[in-house]
């Protein structure tokens, strides 16, 4: 699978919480985004040409999975955190698309607005005509001292 050219992708977001551990909150966010049972290999910002959108990852659990993502975790009380990811989908499917991600202390609407604008600008820079920009985002509010983690991702296989 790792040497294969990706033909499919899934865009998703998730949130996770844990009272004690940052990593457990992140793992819970992965589960909420339907990505917990894979070995994630972080990649940069290109959606391969001719990729088809899917609702779920369709590779064997435990397999390596190429993923472009933004994530943010905090336990600072009374803070809103968010992550977002967007894909500039090319009009001509023989061209690549562009993936943009962001995460930080803001609302989901702001994060999503930023990644969509970044995808539009990147597609112009790459001189690729855009069919559409798709996106996904997640927002969390940190209460007390619990860890809250958000992730927005594009998985490719």
Domain boundaries, the chain: 8-156
For 49-93, how does the pLDDT look when each residue is reduced to its tens digit (9 = 90+)?
999 999 999 999 999 999 999 999 999 999 999 999 999 999 999
Distance CA 47, CA 9 (A): 8
Contact status, residue 138 vs residue 15, Cβ threshold 8 Å: yes
Name the fold adopted by 8-156: 3.50.20
The per-residue pLDDT for range 33-42, each reduced to its tens digit, is: 999 999 999 9
12 neighbors 86 (Cβ within 8 angstroms): no
Residues acting as catalytic residues? 39, 44-45, 101
pLDDT given at position 3: 67
Is the pTM value of this prediction over 0.85?
Answer: yes
């Amino acid at each position: 699978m790792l040497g294969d050219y990706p033909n499919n992708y899934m865009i998703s977001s998730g949130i996770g919480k844990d009272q004690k551990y940052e990593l457990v909150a992140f793992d819970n966010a992965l589960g909420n985004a339907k990505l917990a049972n894979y070995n994630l290999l972080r990649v940069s910002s290109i959606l391969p040409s001719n990729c088809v959108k899917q609702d779920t990852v369709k590779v064997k659990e435990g397999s390596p999975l190429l993923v472009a993502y933004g994530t943010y975790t905090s336990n600072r009380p009374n803070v809103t955190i968010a992550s977002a990811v967007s894909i500039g989908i090319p009009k001509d499917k023989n061209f690549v698309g562009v993936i943009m991600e962001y995460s930080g202390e803001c609302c989901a609407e702001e994060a999503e607005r930023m990644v969509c604008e970044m995808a539009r600008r990147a597609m112009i820079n790459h001189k690729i005509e855009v069919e559409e920009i798709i996106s996904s985002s997640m927002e969390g509010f940190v209460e007390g001292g619990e860890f809250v983690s958000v992730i927005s991702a594009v998985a490719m296989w």
